[in-house]
């Protein structure tokens, strides 16, 4: 049994973490952090947790929470964690950062894309990127600073990693991504109001979405060469879910030899033993409704020989595999628990 705390427990990701950890047999959740709600009963503010927790919200720093907890989850906006996480904290507690502060290995790249100064660049090399199916379990099990990937990046990287690893795709990869509104957080915003979102879909942050360098970093590491992506996110009127559709032209060397069978073989080789990655049957493509509330990544793919384009689709729940579920998966690996512990739910339907 380990003890856990959450900083930012009143946001969508923090609430999802509480839901998952409250039923985890190996974890005692001690702290649910929120400055604005400090002192309020958690279940009073978050009605879905009624009768499931006696916790009160508390206002505590990362350092104070780490003093009591074996693992601390940071569900915070970018720019905060890097100013508060220290080597001293990491000596006594595992930090799983669901924000962006430790995902990029380059301080300069982080500051360019996020527009803030990094507060602890000396820790960047200590951080491990927490995407188990790509990075591997050993690296995660040995670190006390785990950078939990972004939601768009999880779907984008997992769905294209076998192509990048095999080096068969020409750049740029064209990634068309769509997300439900919970991906933008729980704060009040005119652009997220029902009347603004309902019955509409829009692209946003073209050429400038902050998940772009994260995707390129990981695919580049797999490829051994620079990988560029043209990433276009869209906001769709649903609560949960991410759907990505990626278009990749094969390299000239492979184009004449590539078949759908060979393409599928790359995915089966890489993901055949993965619990949370479901490679869909030929001709079947992912839908967000089939992964809702779960830690699964559903992947469908095809090779259009008429146009010479590889098409790969992926669906995840942005709050689970795209955030809280992946964080729990990383915690399980780090502390030697069964990787599926607390994450075995069948997706919700409808």
User: In this structure, are 173 and 226 located in the same domain?
Assistant: yes
**235 within 8 A of 204, measured Cβ to Cβ:** yes
pTM: 0.96
Structure tokens at 24: 């985890």
Per-residue confidence (pLDDT) for residue 192, from 0 to 100 = 83
Note the helical H segments in 106-150: 107-114, 132-135, 137-141
> What three-state secondary structure class fits 175?
strand
Query: Residue 268: inside a domain, yes or no?
Result: yes
**In which domain, by residue range, is 84 found?**
2-126
- Rounded to whole angstroms, the Cα distance separating 6 from 3 reads 11
At 185, is the pLDDT very low, low, confident or very high (cuts 50, 70, 90)?
confident
- Rounded to whole angstroms, the Cα distance separating 173 from 44 reads 46
Number of domains in the chain: 2
The model's pLDDT over 115-151, given as tens digits with 9 standing for 90+, comes to 999 999 999 999 999 999 999 999 999 999 999 999 9
Query: Residue 273: inside a domain, yes or no?
Result: yes
Per-residue confidence (pLDDT) for residue 53, from 0 to 100 = 94
Residue 285's CB is within 10 A of a number of other CB atoms, namely: 17
CATH number, domain with residue 220:
3.30.360.10
CATH number, domain with residue 121:
3.40.50.720
User: In this structure, are 65 and 203 located in the same domain?
Assistant: no
Q: Please list the residues that pair with 203 across neighbouring strands.
A: 234
User: In this structure, are 290 and 161 located in the same domain?
Assistant: yes
Q: Please list the residues that pair with 2 across neighbouring strands.
A: 27
User: In this structure, are 191 and 111 located in the same domain?
Assistant: no
The model's pLDDT over 39-49, given as tens digits with 9 standing for 90+, comes to 999 999 999 99
Query: Residue 347: inside a domain, yes or no?
Result: no
**In the predicted structure, residue 187 carries a pLDDT above the cut 90:** no
The model's pLDDT over 251-295, given as tens digits with 9 standing for 90+, comes to 999 988 999 999 999 999 999 999 999 999 999 999 999 999 999
Query: Residue 174: inside a domain, yes or no?
Result: yes
User: In this structure, are 105 and 170 located in the same domain?
Assistant: no
Per-residue confidence (pLDDT) for residue 259, from 0 to 100 = 95
Per-residue confidence (pLDDT) for residue 341, from 0 to 100 = 97
User: In this structure, are 171 and 108 located in the same domain?
Assistant: no
User: Which candidate, 149, 147, 150, 153, places its Cα nearest to that of 120?
Assistant: 147
**In the predicted structure, residue 188 carries a pLDDT above the cut 80:** no
Average pLDDT over residues 234-262: 95
Q: CA 181, 65, 4 angle in degrees (round to 5)?
A: 70
Residue whose structure tokens are 């894309």? 113
More confident residue, 194 or 216: 216
Per-residue confidence (pLDDT) for residue 301, from 0 to 100 = 98
User: In this structure, are 179 and 310 located in the same domain?
Assistant: yes
Average pLDDT over residues 90-107: 98
**In the predicted structure, residue 193 carries a pLDDT above the cut 90:** no
User: In this structure, are 34 and 106 located in the same domain?
Assistant: yes
Average pLDDT over residues 288-313: 97
Residue whose structure tokens are 């051994």? 224
Query: Residue 235: inside a domain, yes or no?
Result: yes
Q: Please list the residues that pair with 248 across neighbouring strands.
A: 310
Per-residue confidence (pLDDT) for residue 256, from 0 to 100 = 86
**In the predicted structure, residue 72 carries a pLDDT above the cut 80:** yes
User: In this structure, are 169 and 306 located in the same domain?
Assistant: yes
User: In this structure, are 169 and 232 located in the same domain?
Assistant: yes
User: In this structure, are 96 and 197 located in the same domain?
Assistant: no
- The set of residues, in sequence order, having a beta carbon less than 8 Å from that of 109 and lying 6+ positions away, is 213, 217
Active site residue 151: yes
Decide which of 57, 92, 126 is a domain's last residue. Answer: 126
The whole-chain average pLDDT of the chain stands at 96
User: In this structure, are 102 and 183 located in the same domain?
Assistant: no
Chain-centre distance of CA 285, in angstroms? 21
Pairing of strands 242-248, 309-316: antiparallel
Task: Spot the catalytic one: 80, 98, 123, 151.
Answer: 151
Query: Residue 230: inside a domain, yes or no?
Result: yes
Per-residue confidence (pLDDT) for residue 167, from 0 to 100 = 96
Decide which of 126, 142, 170 is a domain's last residue. Answer: 126
């Amino acid at each position: 049994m380990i003890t856990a705390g959450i900083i930012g427990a009143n946001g969508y990701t923090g609430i999802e973490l509480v839901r998952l950890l409250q039923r985890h047999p190996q974890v005692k959740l001690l702290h649910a952090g929120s400055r604005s709600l400090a002192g309020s009963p958690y279940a009073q503010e978050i009605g879905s947790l009624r009768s499931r927790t006696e916790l009160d919200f508390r206002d505590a720093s990362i350092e104070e929470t780490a003093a009591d907890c074996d693992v601390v989850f940071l569900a915070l906006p970018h720019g905060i964690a890097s100013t508060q996480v220290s080597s001293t904290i990491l000596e006594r507690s595992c930090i799983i950062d669901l924000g962006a502060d430790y995902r990029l290995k380059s301080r300069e790249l982080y500051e360019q894309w996020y527009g803030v100064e990094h507060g602890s660049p000396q820790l960047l090399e200590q951080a491990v990127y927490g995407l188990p199916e790509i990075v591997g379990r050993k690296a995660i099990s040995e670190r006390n600073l785990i950078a939990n990937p972004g939601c768009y990046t999880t779907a984008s990287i997992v769905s294209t990693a076998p192509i990048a690893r095999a080096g068969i795709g020409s750049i740029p990869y064209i990634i068309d991504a769509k997300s439900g509104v919970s991906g933008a957080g729980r704060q009040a915003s005119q652009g997220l109001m029902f009347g603004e979102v309902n019955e509409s879909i829009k692209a946003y942050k073209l050429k400038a979405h902050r998940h772009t360098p994260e995707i390129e970093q990981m695919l580049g590491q797999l490829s051994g060469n620079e990988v560029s992506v043209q990433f276009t996110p869209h906001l769709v009127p649903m609560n949960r879910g991410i759907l990505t559709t990626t278009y990749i032209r094969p390299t000239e060397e492979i184009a004449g030899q590539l078949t759908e069978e060979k393409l599928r073989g790359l995915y089966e080789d890489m993901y055949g033993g993965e619990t949370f990655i479901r490679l869909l049957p030929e001709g079947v493509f992912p839908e967000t409704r089939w992964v809702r509330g779960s830690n699964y990544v559903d992947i469908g793919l095809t090779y259009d020989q008429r146009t010479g384009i590889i098409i790969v689709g992926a669906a995840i729940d942005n709050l689970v595999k795209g955030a809280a579920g992946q964080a729990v998966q990383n915690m399980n690996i780090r502390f030697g628990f069964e990787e599926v512990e607390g994450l075995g739910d069948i997706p919700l339907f409808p």
